[in-house]
């Protein structure tokens, strides 16, 4: 690869002119490889498709190699492209880590990027905006809603700083966490459903029941599907969505039944909840990449949730 077979921060062009490797080009190339699509990469990075294509061409010109082979749909990587993707991703992670680490020494109030699953938002957002920011109005933050699986990946990709996540078992060792709350997943139906009055229900009893599910990026999806598999029941999934309002609407109307966290099911109008047998406990935690050195505001937020701020 290149004239010296390395991927350094700088390299010599044939004419002897020294050029600095642009991390932006690598970011665009890495995103295209990760999403297997220039279109998807452009959407994820909020840039134009020509910007992604131009970055790839510039890298090819700088290294004097072919990185991709265009196909009818998308592209495939050459051997050189595979090598650049692997080493470039490592370089970007290191560059991001250096930048985060140095920025985190500053007492300046950086914007905290927080991820929240839709169901959890009903629990933590009032506390976050009304409680925490009421005590620390100088802190700036942004929030976005996604499923737990997506949020955890975005923490590792440095697209988020903190995330409230749900899980029923130990998280990967890549993360540090603060415990927020514990609840359980319950089955939810309209009040006039024949099974609405039961105190508990098994997966076997839900065979043939039309169900609305959150999409596979939500940890609850995997957890509930695993319970069906253990019971050797194939669920009748009527609809999958990432919108809490859609789940609520389908349950309330009696079109389908579904699964929600108990604290939310207790609040939603037109919904009756039934405990699963055996129960499905769920923990809610505030998580971050363990490689991060938390900024003062991030530490303040974590301690506030622990009652220490």
Q: Which two tokens stand for residue 281?
A: 């406990």
- The Cα–Cα gap between 137 and 253 comes to 41
Across the strands, what pairs with 70?
75
Residue with tokens 């505001």: 297
- The Cα–Cα gap between 92 and 27 comes to 7
Domains 10-103 and 112-181+285-305 fall in the same CATH topology: no
**Can you give the pLDDT of all 309 residues of the chain as single tens digits?**
443 444 433 333 333 333 445 788 888 998 888 888 888 888 888 888 888 899 999 898 888 899 988 877 778 899 998 999 888 888 887 777 676 666 555 555 578 999 999 999 999 999 999 999 998 888 889 999 999 999 999 999 889 999 999 988 788 889 999 999 999 999 999 999 999 999 999 999 999 999 999 998 888 898 999 999 999 999 999 999 989 999 999 999 999 999 999 999 999 999 999 999 999 999 999 999 998 888 888 999 999 988 755
Of 181, 184, 169, nearest to 286 (Cα)?
Answer: 181
Q: Which CATH class is domain 183-281?
A: alpha beta
Q: Which CATH class is domain 10-103?
A: mainly alpha
- The Cα–Cα gap between 157 and 164 comes to 16
- The Cα–Cα gap between 251 and 211 comes to 9
Which secondary structure element, helix H or strand E, spans residue 20, and what is its range?
strand 18-20
- The Cα–Cα gap between 149 and 120 comes to 14
Domain residue ranges in the chain? 10-103, 112-181+285-305, 183-281
Which secondary structure element, helix H or strand E, spans residue 155, and what is its range?
helix 148-156
Whole-model pTM: value is 0.65
Fold topology of 112-181+285-305: D-Maltodextrin-Binding Protein; domain 2 (3.40.190)
């Amino acid at each position: 690869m290149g004239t010296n077979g390395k991927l350094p921060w700088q390299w010599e062009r044939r004419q002897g002119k020294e050029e600095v490797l642009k991390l932006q080009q690598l970011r665009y190339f890495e995103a295209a490889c990760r999403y297997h699509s220039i279109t998807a990469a452009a959407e994820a990075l909020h840039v134009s498709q020509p910007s992604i294509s131009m970055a790839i061409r510039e890298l090819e010109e700088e290294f004097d190699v072919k990185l991709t082979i265009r196909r009818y749909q998308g592209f495939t990587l050459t051997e050189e492209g595979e090598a650049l993707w692997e080493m470039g991703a490592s370089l970007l992670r290191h560059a991001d880590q250096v930048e985060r680490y140095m920025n985190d020494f500053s007492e300046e109030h950086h914007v905290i990027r927080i991820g929240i699953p839709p169901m959890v938002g009903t629990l933590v957002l009032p506390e976050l905006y009304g409680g925490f920011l009421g005590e620390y109005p100088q802190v700036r933050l942004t929030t976005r809603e996604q499923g737990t699986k997506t949020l955890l990946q975005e923490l590792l990709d440095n697209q988020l700083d903190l995330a409230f996540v749900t899980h029923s078992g130990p998280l990967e060792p890549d993360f540090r966490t603060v415990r927020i709350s514990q609840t359980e997943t319950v089955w939810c139906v309209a009040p006039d459903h024949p099974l609405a009055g039961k105190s508990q229900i098994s997966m076997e009893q839900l065979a043939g029941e039309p169900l609305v599910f959150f999409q596979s990026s939500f940890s609850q999806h995997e957890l509930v599907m695993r319970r069906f598999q253990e019971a050797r029941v194939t669920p009748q999934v009527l609809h999958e969505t990432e919108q809490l309002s859609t789940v609520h609407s389908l349950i309330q109307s009696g079109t389908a039944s579904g699964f929600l966290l108990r604290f939310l099911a207790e609040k939603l109008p037109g919904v009756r909840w039934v405990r699963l047998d055996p129960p499905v406990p769920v923990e809610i935690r505030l998580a971050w990449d363990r490689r991060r050195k938390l900024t003062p505001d991030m530490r303040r937020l974590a301690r506030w949730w622990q009652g220490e701020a």
